Amino acid sequence: MNRHISEQFDTELDSARSLLLEMGGLVEQQLQQACLSLYNHDSELADEVKGGDKRINRMEVDIDDLCVQIIARRQPAATDLRTLISIMKASTDLERVGDEAQRIAKMARGVADLELPVDQYRDIRTMADQVIGMLASALDAFARLSADSAVSVIAADQAVDDAYDAIIRELGDEMKAQPEQTERSLTVLWVARALERCGDHAKNLSEYIVYLIEGQDVRHGGRIKDGSDQ
């Protein structure tokens, strides 16, 4: 009987993990499509992103409900409890990435009737590739329970912050030199801000993975232990 209960518990944990990764895949797709809608001034694709947001919100609620039910029934401890807490926190960050994707799509719709810029949104494309790569790597680290991969994602956030700062400086100069392009420049500014936030959420996901595996809270600059601390 105890073995049967243990097997059921493992199945429930696997269900929660699987649902989180499914949600993550959808969020990653939403972010990619939102960025493409901007690059191509594609209002139809932007509208598709808006439609997918409700599904993401529903998945967050389903994940929370499932985790709460498991905690109430099983009263898990140690790693199992950390797993459930991490899944619930991760689903919240994923939902917020979905919100940022919707914001990007909304801004893409706003400039859809304008001419594409000469640089084809070069800097935003580079920054978006960095952020989407962080998100994909964080989800992969969650799937493989790899603390090393999670730590790499945490470190990658600095490059995203640097890219954001560079875009802000460049846009300031651009709006002074080409005030007629202010509408597009402001759109790029807010898209860059949304992407910077997505990078922060991907970093958060990775911090939850370290917490899950190592039992360390590395938020807000907490130190990550290595073998020399043992």
CA 95 to centroid of chain Cα atoms: 8
DSSP structural state of residue 216: -
Considering the segment(s) 7-224 as one domain, its CATH architecture is Up-down Bundle (1.20)
First to last CA, the chain: 38
Residue 3 has a pLDDT of 57
b vs e for 44-56, b when ≥16 Cβ sit within 10 Å of the residue's Cβ? Answer: ebbeebbebbeeb
Closest CA to 114 of 190, 34, 185: 185
pLDDT exceeds 80 at position 126? yes
Quick one: average pLDDT of 96-123? 93
The predicted-structure confidence for 66-83, as pLDDT tens digits, reads as follows 999 999 998 898 889 999
pLDDT exceeds 60 at position 1? no
Closest CA to 12 of 61, 66, 68: 66
Residue 74 has a pLDDT of 87
Residue 228 has a pLDDT of 36
pLDDT exceeds 60 at position 230? no
Q: Say if residues 31 and 23 touch (Cβ distance below 8 Å).
A: no
Closest CA to 132 of 46, 206, 28: 28
Percent of the chain at pLDDT above 70? Answer: 93
Quick one: average pLDDT of 96-120? 93
Residue 132 has a pLDDT of 98
Provide the residue ranges of all domains of the chain, joining segments of one domain with +.
7-224
- Joined together, the tokens standing for residue 229 give 């601390």
DSSP structural state of residue 114: S
Residue corresponding to tokens 């029934």: 73
